Structure 1
Amino acid sequence: MPIISMFYGIIIRLYLLDNLHHNLPHIHAKYAEFEASIGLADGDVLAGELPRKQLRLVQAWIELHRDELLADWELAVSGENPYKIDPL
């Protein structure tokens, strides 16, 4: 599960071959003891939870980097390592 970005104590990961669980392009965000799967299309939480402030930061980051994230998603679901993406 490669880390693709880190900012404000939030770790963003894309799991390899992870298109079976939610079947939507998504990332995994971890902050302290919280973790959530967040959709790339709309920034909605698919599973888990993050504090409101950190969720808003992740959603803003997704908005800024959506094209890069979707390209990384394609790499990850085919089993290749995704590229790092600039933090917020």
Structure 2
Amino acid sequence: MPEICRFYGIIIRMYLIDWEHPPRHIHIKYGLYEADMELEKLNIIEGSVPKKCRQLVREWAELHQDELLEMWDNQNFHPIAPLE
């Protein structure tokens, strides 16, 4: 699973479509926590992460939403700048 970004101890990944299922989403790992965030409305759809982590990932995903959606659709994975 390609790693898309890493910041503040948060790891963002995206699976290949062949292994995935709708809706378009990213995988979040923060310590022992794991969750999936869908890319349209940026809501957690599976798992859980602490509120601050969720807020940071949502902020980052809002900045890169178009790029993330395109990456899902084209399967052209590449690193995206972290939140600073």
Q: Does TM, normalized by the shorter one, top 0.5?
A: yes
* Residue aligned with 1:37, SS: strand
Rounded to whole Å, the distance in 1 between the matches of 2:47 and 2:9 is: 17
1:28 maps to amino acid: H
Matched, 1:12 2:39: no
Cα RMSD for the two superposed structures: 1.1
Structure 2 residues without counterparts, runs of 5 or longer: none
Deviation at 1:83, TM superposition (A): 1.2
Q: Secondary structure at the match of 2:37?
A: strand
Secondary structure in 1 aligned to 2:53?
helix
| CA deviation vs aligned residue, 1:32-88 (integer Å, no higher than 9, x gap) | 000000011111111000000000000001100001101111133xxxx51111111
Give the counterpart letter for 1:32 in structure 2.
G
Hey, what does 2:77 align to over in structure 1? 82
Structure 1 residue 2, shift from structure 2 partner: 0.4
- Could you state the TM-score of these two structures normalised by the residue count of structure 1? 0.87
Kindly report structure 1 stretches of 4+ aligned residues shifted beyond 2 Å.
none
In structure 1, list runs of 5 or more residues that go unmatched. none
Q: Secondary structure at the match of 1:83?
A: coil
Q: For residue 19 of structure 1, report the CA deviation from its aligned partner.
A: 3.7
The residue number in structure 1 matching 2:42 is 43
Give the share of equivalent positions with the same residue, in percent.
46
TM-score (norm 2): 0.91
- 1:62 maps to 61
How many correspondences in the alignment? Answer: 82
